[in-house]
Chains A and B, each alone.
Chain A
Amino acid sequence: MQRARIPEALRTSTHVASGDPGGLFWSVPRTGIAGRVAGALAVLLLGCSGKITKDLPAGSGAAATVGGAGGGSAASGGTGAGAGIASGGTSGTKGGASGASSGGTSGTGTPPTDAECEAQTGGALKIGRSRLSRLTRTQLDHTLRDLLGVTGNPSSSLTPDQSVGPFASNALAVPTDLIVQQHQELAAKVALGVQSRQAEIAGCDLATGDDCVRKFVTNFGLKAYRRPLLAEEVDAYATLFGVAQNPADGFRLVLEAMLQSPFFLYHADVGTTGTPAETPVSLSSYELAARLSYFLWDSMPDQTLFDLAAAGGLDDEAVLAAQVTRMLADSKAKDAVPLFHLQWLDIGATQLGSLASSKPDLVDAMLAETTDFANAVVLSGDGLMSTLFTAPYSYPRGELFGLYGVDQPSSFKAGTQVMLDATKRGGVLTQPGFLVKHYRGDAEGSVVHRGIAIRENLLCTPIDPPPPDVNATALPPADGTTARDRFKAHETGTCAGCHAQMDPIGLAFENFDGLGRYRTMDGGVTIDATGELLDAGDDLAGKFNGVVELGKKLAGSRTVADCLANQWFRFALGRIESADDACSLRSVHERFAESKFNVRELITATVLSDAFRHVRAIGAQEAP
Chain B
Amino acid sequence: MSLPRRRGLSRRALFKSLGLSAALAPFVPLLNASGQEAKRPKRLLLFFSPDGSADSDSSAGPIDWKPMGTETDFTLNQIQAPLQPLASKLIVPWGLRMSVKGAGEQHAYGSAGMFTGAILKDPGNGADFDGGNGHRTGWGSGPSMDQIVAAAAGPDMPYAEAPDSAAQETPYRTLELGVQCGNPNSVTRIIYKGDDQPLHPETNPQAAFDRLFANFTPPSDPAAAMAAAEQKKREQTSVLDLVTADLNRLKKRVSSEEYPKIEAHLAGIRALEQRLDTMVPEMNAGCTVPMRPDAAGKYANNANFPTETAAVLGMIPAIFACDLTRVASVQLSCGFSNVTHTWLGHDTPHHTMSHEDTDNRDKLMAIDNWYATQLFSMLQAMDAIDEGDGTMLDNTLVVWGRELGTTSHSMQPWPVVLIGGARGALRTGRFLDVNKEPSAKLMVSILQAMGMTSTTSIGNVDPDSGPLTQLA
Contact = CB atoms under 8 A, between A and B. Distances in A.
Given A73-B143, A90-B123, A263-B246, A253 B260 contact: no
B429 interface: no
B306 interface: no
A159 B124 contact: no
Interface string A118-135: 000000000000011010
B181 A22 contact: yes
Given A4-B57, A24-B336, A81-B125, 17 more contacts: A7-B131, A12-B185, A21-B183, A23-B351, A65-B121, A65-B122, A71-B117, A95-B136, A96-B128, A174-B261, A176-B200, A177-B267, A181-B211, A257-B238, A350-B182, A466-B133, A476-B357
A96 B243 CA distance: 34
Contacts of B141: 65-66, 68-69
Contacts of B268: 175-181
A3 B57 contact: yes
Interface class of chain A by DSSP: loop
B242 A178 contact: no
A23 B339 contact: yes
B440 to A, nearest CB: 9
Contacts of B343: none
Interface stretch (A26-34, A295-303, A405-413, A564-572): A26-34
Contact of B130 (A9, A13, A33, A266): A9
Interface stretch (A54-62, A431-439, A487-495): A54-62
A137 B130 CA distance: 22
B460 A81 contact: no
26 contacts: A7-B132, A20-B182, A21-B180, A59-B122, A61-B124, A66-B141, A68-B141, A71-B118, A72-B458, A74-B151, A76-B195, A81-B194, A94-B128, A132-B258, A164-B126, A174-B260, A233-B246, A244-B235, A253-B239, A260-B240, A261-B246, A276-B253, A354-B302, A357-B303, A358-B302, A472-B133
Contact of B263 (A58, A80, A181): A80
Interface in B88-127: 102-103, 105-106, 116-119, 121-127
B349 A243 contact: no
A162 B196 contact: no
B50 A181 contact: no
Given A75-B194, A177-B268, A268-B254, A35 B301 contact: no
A192 interface: no
A162 B188 CA distance: 13
A140 to B, nearest CB: 15
A591 interface: no
A548 B142 CA distance: 49
- Residue among B210, B271, B458, B460 having the largest count of chain A Cβ atoms under 10 Å: B460
Contact of A270 (B130, B253, B335): B253
Contact of A31 (B133, B142, B239, B358): B358
Contact of B193 (A23, A28, A79): A79
A466 B130 CA distance: 12
Interface in A74-116: 74-86, 89-96
A503 interface: no
Contacts of B301: 19, 357, 360
Contacts of B119: 65, 68-69
A184 interface: yes
Interface of B: 50, 57, 59, 102-103, 105-106, 116-119, 121-136, 138, 141-143, 147-148, 150-152, 163-164, 176, 180-185, 187-188, 193-197, 199-200, 202-204, 207, 210-211, 231, 234-235, 238-240, 242-243, 245-247, 250, 253-265, 267-269, 271-272, 296-303, 333-340, 348-353, 355-358, 408-410, 447, 452, 455, 457-460, 463
Nearest to A275: B253
Interface in A590-624: 617-618
Contacts of A322: none
Contacts of A466: 133-135
A89 B408 contact: no
Contact of B246 (A4, A262, A468): A262
